[in-house]
Protein backbone atom coordinates (compact mmCIF):
# COMPACT_ATOMS: atom_id res chain seq x y z
CA UNK A 1 0.00 0.00 0.00
CA UNK A 2 1.23 3.49 -0.70
CA UNK A 3 0.29 7.15 -0.99
CA UNK A 4 -2.07 7.63 -3.91
CA UNK A 5 -3.60 11.03 -4.62
CA UNK A 6 -5.02 9.60 -7.85
CA UNK A 7 -6.78 6.86 -5.90
CA UNK A 8 -8.16 9.40 -3.44
CA UNK A 9 -9.52 11.58 -6.24
CA UNK A 10 -11.15 8.57 -7.89
CA UNK A 11 -12.71 7.51 -4.58
CA UNK A 12 -14.11 10.96 -3.86
CA UNK A 13 -15.46 11.34 -7.40
CA UNK A 14 -17.20 7.99 -7.10
CA UNK A 15 -18.46 8.76 -3.60
CA UNK A 16 -19.90 12.11 -4.64
CA UNK A 17 -21.75 10.47 -7.50
CA UNK A 18 -23.12 7.78 -5.20
CA UNK A 19 -24.09 10.25 -2.51
CA UNK A 20 -26.17 12.22 -4.98
CA UNK A 21 -28.74 9.39 -4.82
CA UNK A 22 -27.74 7.30 -1.84
CA UNK A 23 -26.99 8.02 1.78
CA UNK A 24 -28.50 6.35 4.84
CA UNK A 25 -31.88 7.59 5.99
CA UNK A 26 -32.00 9.60 9.19
CA UNK A 27 -33.83 7.34 11.63
CA UNK A 28 -34.03 10.19 14.14
CA UNK A 29 -36.87 11.60 12.02
CA UNK A 30 -37.59 15.13 10.83
CA UNK A 31 -38.32 16.52 7.41
CA UNK A 32 -35.53 17.54 5.09
CA UNK A 33 -35.67 19.03 1.60
CA UNK A 34 -36.12 16.50 -1.20
CA UNK A 35 -32.86 17.76 -2.70
CA UNK A 36 -31.02 16.43 0.36
CA UNK A 37 -29.38 13.16 -0.74
CA UNK A 38 -29.44 11.83 2.82
CA UNK A 39 -33.13 10.96 2.31
CA UNK A 40 -32.13 7.89 0.31
CA UNK A 41 -30.47 4.71 1.65
CA UNK A 42 -26.90 3.85 0.69
CA UNK A 43 -24.97 0.68 1.22
CA UNK A 44 -23.21 0.84 4.60
CA UNK A 45 -21.25 -2.26 3.65
CA UNK A 46 -19.18 -2.22 0.48
CA UNK A 47 -19.72 -4.91 -2.13
CA UNK A 48 -16.52 -6.98 -2.41
CA UNK A 49 -16.04 -5.99 -6.05
CA UNK A 50 -16.37 -2.29 -5.14
CA UNK A 51 -13.49 -2.14 -2.64
CA UNK A 52 -10.69 0.18 -3.76
CA UNK A 53 -7.57 -1.75 -4.71
CA UNK A 54 -4.01 -0.78 -3.74
CA UNK A 55 -2.48 -4.23 -4.27
CA UNK A 56 1.26 -4.73 -4.78
CA UNK A 57 3.08 -7.00 -7.20
CA UNK A 58 4.35 -7.09 -10.78
CA UNK A 59 2.15 -8.62 -11.98
CA UNK A 60 -0.42 -8.16 -9.22
CA UNK A 61 -1.20 -11.70 -8.01
CA UNK A 62 -4.94 -11.44 -8.60
CA UNK A 63 -4.30 -10.81 -12.30
CA UNK A 64 -2.81 -14.28 -12.72
CA UNK A 65 -4.89 -16.82 -14.62
CA UNK A 66 -6.71 -19.52 -12.66
CA UNK A 67 -4.15 -22.06 -13.84
CA UNK A 68 -1.29 -19.84 -12.66
CA UNK A 69 -2.98 -19.32 -9.30
CA UNK A 70 -3.44 -23.05 -8.91
CA UNK A 71 0.23 -23.60 -9.65
CA UNK A 72 1.38 -21.19 -6.93
CA UNK A 73 -1.22 -22.23 -4.34
CA UNK A 74 -3.66 -19.33 -4.60
CA UNK A 75 -6.85 -21.36 -4.96
CA UNK A 76 -8.84 -22.99 -2.19
CA UNK A 77 -7.95 -26.49 -3.40
CA UNK A 78 -4.20 -25.76 -3.59
CA UNK A 79 -3.62 -23.28 -0.75
CA UNK A 80 -1.13 -24.19 1.98
CA UNK A 81 0.19 -22.18 4.90
CA UNK A 82 3.66 -22.66 6.35
CA UNK A 83 3.94 -21.85 10.06
CA UNK A 84 7.58 -22.17 11.09
CA UNK A 85 10.25 -20.79 13.41
CA UNK A 86 12.38 -17.82 12.37
CA UNK A 87 15.80 -19.09 11.28
CA UNK A 88 17.54 -15.88 12.42
CA UNK A 89 15.69 -15.32 15.71
CA UNK A 90 14.26 -18.77 16.42
CA UNK A 91 11.29 -19.46 18.63
CA UNK A 92 11.16 -22.87 20.24
CA UNK A 93 8.30 -24.88 18.69
CA UNK A 94 7.76 -28.63 18.63
CA UNK A 95 5.68 -29.06 15.48
CA UNK A 96 6.29 -26.70 12.53
CA UNK A 97 3.61 -26.75 9.88
CA UNK A 98 5.38 -27.08 6.54
CA UNK A 99 5.83 -29.53 3.68
CA UNK A 100 3.60 -32.55 4.29
CA UNK A 101 2.33 -31.02 7.54
CA UNK A 102 1.53 -27.59 6.07
CA UNK A 103 -1.86 -26.16 7.06
CA UNK A 104 -4.38 -26.52 4.21
CA UNK A 105 -7.69 -24.87 3.33
CA UNK A 106 -9.42 -28.09 4.30
CA UNK A 107 -7.77 -27.85 7.72
CA UNK A 108 -8.99 -24.26 7.96
CA UNK A 109 -12.58 -25.24 7.18
CA UNK A 110 -12.51 -28.01 9.77
CA UNK A 111 -11.27 -25.51 12.34
CA UNK A 112 -13.95 -23.01 11.25
CA UNK A 113 -16.71 -25.45 12.20
CA UNK A 114 -15.96 -24.68 15.85
CA UNK A 115 -14.03 -21.41 15.81
CA UNK A 116 -15.33 -19.17 13.01
CA UNK A 117 -15.39 -15.44 13.89
CA UNK A 118 -17.19 -12.61 12.07
CA UNK A 119 -16.82 -8.88 12.63
CA UNK A 120 -17.31 -5.60 10.74
CA UNK A 121 -14.25 -3.55 9.88
CA UNK A 122 -13.39 -0.64 7.62
CA UNK A 123 -10.28 -1.30 5.55
CA UNK A 124 -8.14 1.83 5.30
CA UNK A 125 -4.67 2.53 3.91
CA UNK A 126 -2.25 4.20 6.32
CA UNK A 127 -1.38 7.03 3.94
CA UNK A 128 -4.66 7.61 2.09
CA UNK A 129 -7.45 9.88 3.29
CA UNK A 130 -10.32 7.57 2.38
CA UNK A 131 -11.49 4.09 3.36
CA UNK A 132 -11.05 1.35 0.76
CA UNK A 133 -14.28 -0.31 1.84
CA UNK A 134 -16.34 -1.45 4.82
CA UNK A 135 -17.11 -5.14 5.23
CA UNK A 136 -17.92 -8.09 7.48
CA UNK A 137 -14.87 -10.34 7.60
CA UNK A 138 -15.00 -14.01 8.53
CA UNK A 139 -12.18 -16.30 9.54
CA UNK A 140 -10.48 -18.36 12.22
CA UNK A 141 -8.32 -16.79 14.95
CA UNK A 142 -4.66 -16.97 13.93
CA UNK A 143 -3.76 -18.12 17.44
CA UNK A 144 -5.62 -21.41 16.89
CA UNK A 145 -3.19 -22.30 14.12
CA UNK A 146 -0.13 -21.07 16.01
CA UNK A 147 -0.99 -23.34 18.95
CA UNK A 148 -0.85 -26.30 16.56
CA UNK A 149 2.92 -25.73 16.29
CA UNK A 150 3.22 -26.36 20.05
CA UNK A 151 5.31 -23.29 20.93
CA UNK A 152 7.48 -23.66 24.04
CA UNK A 153 9.44 -20.43 24.60
CA UNK A 154 11.26 -17.49 23.01
CA UNK A 155 8.21 -16.44 21.01
CA UNK A 156 7.86 -12.66 21.05
CA UNK A 157 6.70 -11.65 17.61
CA UNK A 158 4.99 -13.11 14.56
CA UNK A 159 5.64 -11.88 11.06
CA UNK A 160 3.83 -13.02 7.96
CA UNK A 161 3.75 -12.50 4.23
CA UNK A 162 1.86 -13.62 1.17
CA UNK A 163 2.59 -14.53 -2.41
CA UNK A 164 4.00 -11.54 -4.26
CA UNK A 165 5.50 -13.47 -7.16
CA UNK A 166 8.72 -15.45 -7.16
CA UNK A 167 10.93 -12.36 -6.90
CA UNK A 168 12.10 -12.07 -3.24
CA UNK A 169 12.40 -8.30 -3.66
CA UNK A 170 8.61 -8.10 -4.01
CA UNK A 171 7.91 -9.64 -0.61
CA UNK A 172 5.61 -7.48 1.51
CA UNK A 173 5.73 -8.38 5.20
CA UNK A 174 3.86 -7.31 8.33
CA UNK A 175 4.24 -8.30 11.97
CA UNK A 176 2.45 -8.32 15.32
CA UNK A 177 3.53 -8.97 18.90
CA UNK A 178 2.54 -12.49 19.91
CA UNK A 179 0.52 -11.05 22.81
CA UNK A 180 -1.91 -9.36 20.41
CA UNK A 181 -2.46 -12.62 18.54
CA UNK A 182 -2.93 -14.79 21.61
CA UNK A 183 -5.17 -12.32 23.46
CA UNK A 184 -7.82 -9.77 22.48
CA UNK A 185 -7.42 -6.61 24.61
CA UNK A 186 -10.11 -3.95 25.08
CA UNK A 187 -12.81 -6.29 23.74
CA UNK A 188 -11.29 -6.27 20.26
CA UNK A 189 -12.09 -9.11 17.85
CA UNK A 190 -9.23 -11.56 17.24
CA UNK A 191 -6.66 -11.41 14.47
CA UNK A 192 -7.99 -13.88 11.90
CA UNK A 193 -7.07 -16.01 8.94
CA UNK A 194 -9.85 -14.60 6.75
CA UNK A 195 -11.62 -16.56 4.01
CA UNK A 196 -14.93 -14.69 3.56
CA UNK A 197 -16.04 -11.09 3.05
CA UNK A 198 -19.72 -10.19 3.46
CA UNK A 199 -20.58 -13.89 3.56
CA UNK A 200 -18.85 -14.64 0.25
CA UNK A 201 -15.59 -16.45 -0.42
CA UNK A 202 -12.66 -14.06 -0.71
CA UNK A 203 -11.92 -13.34 -4.35
CA UNK A 204 -8.33 -13.05 -5.60
CA UNK A 205 -8.83 -9.26 -5.76
CA UNK A 206 -9.60 -9.17 -2.04
CA UNK A 207 -6.62 -11.37 -1.14
CA UNK A 208 -8.18 -14.82 -1.44
CA UNK A 209 -8.15 -17.61 -0.83
CA UNK A 210 -6.85 -16.58 2.63
CA UNK A 211 -5.56 -13.32 4.07
CA UNK A 212 -4.86 -11.89 7.49
CA UNK A 213 -7.30 -9.33 8.93
CA UNK A 214 -6.26 -7.31 11.99
CA UNK A 215 -9.40 -5.55 13.33
CA UNK A 216 -7.89 -2.36 14.76
CA UNK A 217 -5.08 -1.92 12.23
CA UNK A 218 -4.53 -0.21 8.91
CA UNK A 219 -4.63 -2.28 5.75
CA UNK A 220 -0.91 -3.03 5.50
CA UNK A 221 -1.25 -5.32 8.54
CA UNK A 222 -3.95 -7.38 6.79
CA UNK A 223 -1.68 -9.16 4.32
CA UNK A 224 -3.30 -10.61 1.20
CA UNK A 225 -2.63 -14.02 -0.43
CA UNK A 226 -1.16 -15.33 2.82
CA UNK A 227 1.36 -18.17 2.51
CA UNK A 228 3.84 -17.90 5.40
CA UNK A 229 3.66 -17.21 9.14
CA UNK A 230 7.00 -16.98 10.96
CA UNK A 231 7.27 -17.36 14.74
CA UNK A 232 10.15 -15.28 15.97
CA UNK A 233 12.11 -14.14 19.01
CA UNK A 234 12.89 -10.79 17.35
CA UNK A 235 12.37 -7.87 19.72
CA UNK A 236 10.76 -5.33 17.41
CA UNK A 237 8.69 -4.82 14.29
CA UNK A 238 10.22 -5.90 11.01
CA UNK A 239 7.39 -4.84 8.68
CA UNK A 240 8.18 -3.80 5.13
CA UNK A 241 6.38 -0.54 5.89
CA UNK A 242 8.81 0.17 8.73
CA UNK A 243 11.57 0.79 6.18
CA UNK A 244 9.46 3.55 4.61
CA UNK A 245 9.25 5.82 7.68
CA UNK A 246 5.78 4.60 8.71
CA UNK A 247 4.50 4.12 12.25
CA UNK A 248 3.70 0.42 11.92
CA UNK A 249 2.11 0.11 15.37
CA UNK A 250 -0.45 2.89 14.88
CA UNK A 251 -4.11 1.75 15.15
CA UNK A 252 -7.00 3.23 13.17
CA UNK A 253 -7.65 6.92 13.76
CA UNK A 254 -11.02 8.62 14.03
CA UNK A 255 -11.49 11.13 11.20
CA UNK A 256 -14.02 12.31 8.62
CA UNK A 257 -14.46 13.79 5.17
CA UNK A 258 -17.27 14.95 2.90
CA UNK A 259 -19.19 12.79 0.44
CA UNK A 260 -21.19 15.57 -1.18
CA UNK A 261 -19.48 18.89 -0.51
CA UNK A 262 -21.11 22.11 -1.65
CA UNK A 263 -19.92 23.18 -5.10
CA UNK A 264 -21.94 26.13 -6.40
CA UNK A 265 -24.57 27.28 -3.90
CA UNK A 266 -27.28 29.89 -4.37
CA UNK A 267 -27.28 32.72 -1.86
CA UNK A 268 -30.20 32.93 0.54
CA UNK A 269 -30.88 29.16 0.47
CA UNK A 270 -29.92 26.54 3.02
CA UNK A 271 -28.02 23.56 1.65
CA UNK A 272 -26.96 20.05 2.72
CA UNK A 273 -23.44 18.85 3.42
CA UNK A 274 -22.99 15.10 3.74
CA UNK A 275 -20.05 12.89 4.59
CA UNK A 276 -18.64 9.83 6.29
CA UNK A 277 -16.56 9.29 9.40
CA UNK A 278 -14.17 6.50 10.31
CA UNK A 279 -14.73 5.24 13.86
CA UNK A 280 -11.18 4.69 15.04
CA UNK A 281 -9.73 3.04 18.11
CA UNK A 282 -10.92 5.92 20.35
CA UNK A 283 -14.49 5.84 19.09
CA UNK A 284 -16.61 8.69 17.75
CA UNK A 285 -18.58 11.23 19.76
CA UNK A 286 -19.55 13.66 17.01
CA UNK A 287 -18.72 15.24 13.68
CA UNK A 288 -18.50 19.01 13.27
CA UNK A 289 -18.50 21.38 10.29
CA UNK A 290 -17.15 24.89 9.91
CA UNK A 291 -17.79 27.16 6.92
CA UNK A 292 -16.23 30.60 6.66
CA UNK A 293 -15.49 33.27 4.08
CA UNK A 294 -12.16 32.21 2.65
CA UNK A 295 -11.05 35.79 2.09
CA UNK A 296 -10.67 35.92 5.88
CA UNK A 297 -7.66 33.75 6.68
CA UNK A 298 -7.80 31.69 9.91
CA UNK A 299 -5.33 32.54 12.64
CA UNK A 300 -1.82 31.25 12.03
CA UNK A 301 -1.35 30.34 15.70
CA UNK A 302 -4.29 27.90 15.63
CA UNK A 303 -3.31 25.30 13.00
CA UNK A 304 -6.09 22.87 14.00
CA UNK A 305 -8.79 25.58 14.21
CA UNK A 306 -9.66 24.78 17.82
CA UNK A 307 -11.19 28.22 18.39
CA UNK A 308 -13.35 28.14 15.26
CA UNK A 309 -17.18 28.22 15.61
CA UNK A 310 -17.76 24.57 14.67
CA UNK A 311 -21.35 23.32 14.39
CA UNK A 312 -22.43 19.75 15.14
CA UNK A 313 -23.49 17.47 12.32
CA UNK A 314 -26.09 14.74 12.73
CA UNK A 315 -24.81 11.17 12.74
CA UNK A 316 -27.15 9.08 10.61
CA UNK A 317 -28.67 5.99 12.18
CA UNK A 318 -28.04 2.43 11.02
CA UNK A 319 -29.76 1.69 7.71
CA UNK A 320 -32.52 -0.84 7.22
CA UNK A 321 -30.47 -2.53 4.50
CA UNK A 322 -26.76 -2.88 5.23
CA UNK A 323 -26.00 -3.72 1.59
CA UNK A 324 -22.64 -5.13 0.60
CA UNK A 325 -24.10 -8.02 -1.37
CA UNK A 326 -24.83 -10.08 1.75
CA UNK A 327 -26.39 -13.45 0.84
CA UNK A 328 -30.12 -13.03 1.39
CA UNK A 329 -29.44 -9.46 2.46
CA UNK A 330 -28.86 -10.65 6.03
CA UNK A 331 -25.91 -10.08 8.36
CA UNK A 332 -24.28 -13.49 8.98
CA UNK A 333 -25.26 -15.02 12.34
CA UNK A 334 -23.01 -14.45 15.35
CA UNK A 335 -21.37 -11.38 13.82
CA UNK A 336 -19.64 -9.26 16.47
CA UNK A 337 -21.58 -6.07 17.21
CA UNK A 338 -24.93 -7.45 15.97
CA UNK A 339 -27.76 -9.11 17.91
CA UNK A 340 -29.67 -12.26 16.97
CA UNK A 341 -32.00 -10.17 14.78
CA UNK A 342 -29.07 -8.91 12.73
CA UNK A 343 -29.24 -5.39 14.16
CA UNK A 344 -26.28 -3.48 15.63
CA UNK A 345 -26.08 -3.50 19.42
CA UNK A 346 -24.56 -0.01 19.44
CA UNK A 347 -24.12 2.75 16.88
CA UNK A 348 -21.82 3.73 15.35
CA UNK A 349 -20.03 0.39 15.42
CA UNK A 350 -16.36 0.53 16.44
CA UNK A 351 -13.70 0.30 13.70
CA UNK A 352 -16.23 0.88 10.92
CA UNK A 353 -17.71 3.93 9.22
CA UNK A 354 -20.81 6.05 9.75
CA UNK A 355 -22.50 8.75 7.65
CA UNK A 356 -23.37 12.28 8.72
CA UNK A 357 -25.09 15.38 7.39
CA UNK A 358 -25.65 19.06 8.10
CA UNK A 359 -28.45 21.20 6.71
CA UNK A 360 -26.46 24.42 6.67
CA UNK A 361 -28.07 27.84 7.04
CA UNK A 362 -28.14 30.13 4.01
CA UNK A 363 -25.05 32.18 3.13
CA UNK A 364 -24.62 35.46 1.32
CA UNK A 365 -22.75 35.56 -1.98
CA UNK A 366 -19.00 35.08 -1.65
CA UNK A 367 -16.08 32.65 -1.65
CA UNK A 368 -16.11 30.10 1.16
CA UNK A 369 -14.09 27.34 2.77
CA UNK A 370 -15.54 24.25 4.41
CA UNK A 371 -13.79 22.06 6.96
CA UNK A 372 -15.08 19.05 8.89
CA UNK A 373 -13.64 17.20 11.85
CA UNK A 374 -14.42 14.42 14.31
CA UNK A 375 -14.38 14.47 18.10
CA UNK A 376 -13.59 11.07 19.63
CA UNK A 377 -15.00 9.59 22.84
CA UNK A 378 -12.04 10.99 24.78
CA UNK A 379 -12.88 14.52 23.63
CA UNK A 380 -9.91 14.78 21.23
CA UNK A 381 -10.76 16.76 18.10
CA UNK A 382 -9.27 15.73 14.75
CA UNK A 383 -6.39 15.60 13.91
CA UNK A 384 -5.48 15.05 17.58
CA UNK A 385 -4.39 13.02 19.46
CA UNK A 386 -2.07 11.71 16.69
CA UNK A 387 -1.70 14.43 14.06
CA UNK A 388 1.35 12.88 12.41
CA UNK A 389 0.88 11.82 8.79
CA UNK A 390 2.96 8.63 8.92
CA UNK A 391 0.83 7.24 11.75
CA UNK A 392 -2.31 7.36 9.63
CA UNK A 393 -4.16 10.05 7.70
CA UNK A 394 -6.12 12.48 9.87
CA UNK A 395 -5.66 15.84 8.16
CA UNK A 396 -8.69 18.12 8.34
CA UNK A 397 -10.29 18.24 4.90
CA UNK A 398 -10.54 21.64 3.21
CA UNK A 399 -13.20 22.24 0.52
CA UNK A 400 -13.45 25.52 -1.39
CA UNK A 401 -16.77 26.60 -2.95
CA UNK A 402 -18.65 29.67 -4.12
CA UNK A 403 -22.03 31.11 -3.23
CA UNK A 404 -23.61 33.11 -6.04
pLDDT band at 309, cuts 50/70/90? Answer: very high
Question: pTM for this one?
Answer: 0.89
pLDDT beyond 70 at 27:
no
Same domain for 307 and 225? no
Phi and psi at 13, nearest 5°, equal -60, -45
Same domain for 105 and 209? yes
Same domain for 189 and 91? yes
CATH number where 382 lies: 2.60.40.650
Please give the torsion angle defined by the CA atoms of residues 217, 219, 224 and 230, in that order, rounded to the nearest 10 degrees. Answer: -40
Same domain for 88 and 167? yes
Same domain for 312 and 390? yes
Euclidean distance between CA atoms 375 and 383, whole angstroms = 9
pLDDT beyond 50 at 7:
no
Phi and psi at 38, nearest 5°, equal -75, 0
pLDDT-above-70 percentage for the chain: 90
Phi and psi at 156, nearest 5°, equal -115, -30
Q: Give the range of the structural domain holding residue 338, as residue numbers without chain letter.
A: 5-44+252-403
Same domain for 207 and 257? no
Same domain for 131 and 27? no
Same domain for 197 and 118? yes
Q: Which of 225, 244, 263 is the last residue of a domain?
A: 244
CA 159, 161, 52: angle at the middle one, nearest 5? Answer: 120
Query: 366 with 372: CB under 8 angstroms?
Result: no
Q: Which of 244, 273, 297 is the last residue of a domain?
A: 244
Q: Identify which of 257, 262, 258 has the alpha carbon closest to the alpha carbon of residue 35.
A: 262
Query: 109 with 205: CB under 8 angstroms?
Result: no
CA end-to-end distance (rounded Å), the chain = 41
Same domain for 24 and 165? no
Same domain for 240 and 309? no
Task: Identify the weakest region by mean pLDDT among 164-178, 352-366, 379-393.
Answer: 164-178
pLDDT tens column, 145-202 = 999 999 999 999 999 999 988 788 889 999 999 999 999 999 999 999 999 999 999 9
pLDDT-above-90 percentage for the chain: 80
User: What SS3 class is residue 13?
Assistant: helix
Q: What's the rounded mean pLDDT across residues 273-295?
A: 96
pLDDT beyond 60 at 34:
no
- Residue 13: the pLDDT is 39
pLDDT beyond 90 at 356:
yes
Query: 150 with 136: CB under 8 angstroms?
Result: no
- Please tell me the total count of domains within the chain: 2
For 247, how many CA atoms within 13 A lie in the half-sphere containing its CB? 16
CATH number where 57 lies: 3.90.420.10
Same domain for 96 and 21? no
Q: Which of 222, 244, 266 is the last residue of a domain?
A: 244
Q: Which residues, listed in sequence order, are joined to residue 271 by a DSSP beta bridge?
A: 360
pLDDT tens column, 252-265 = 999 999 988 888 89
Omega of the bond leading into 209 within 30 degrees of 0 (cis): yes
Same domain for 202 and 111? yes
Amino acid sequence: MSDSSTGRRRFLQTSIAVAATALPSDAAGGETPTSDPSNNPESWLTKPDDFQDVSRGKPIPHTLSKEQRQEVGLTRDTWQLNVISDSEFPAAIRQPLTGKTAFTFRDLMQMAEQHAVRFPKVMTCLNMGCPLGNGIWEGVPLRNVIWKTQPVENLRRVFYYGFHNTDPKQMFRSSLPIGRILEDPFDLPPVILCYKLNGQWLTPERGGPVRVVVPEAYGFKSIKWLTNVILSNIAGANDTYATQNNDVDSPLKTFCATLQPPMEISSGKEFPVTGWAQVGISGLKKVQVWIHNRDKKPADDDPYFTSAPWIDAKLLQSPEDFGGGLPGGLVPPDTRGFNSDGQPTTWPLPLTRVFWRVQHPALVAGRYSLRCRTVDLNGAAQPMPRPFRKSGHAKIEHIRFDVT
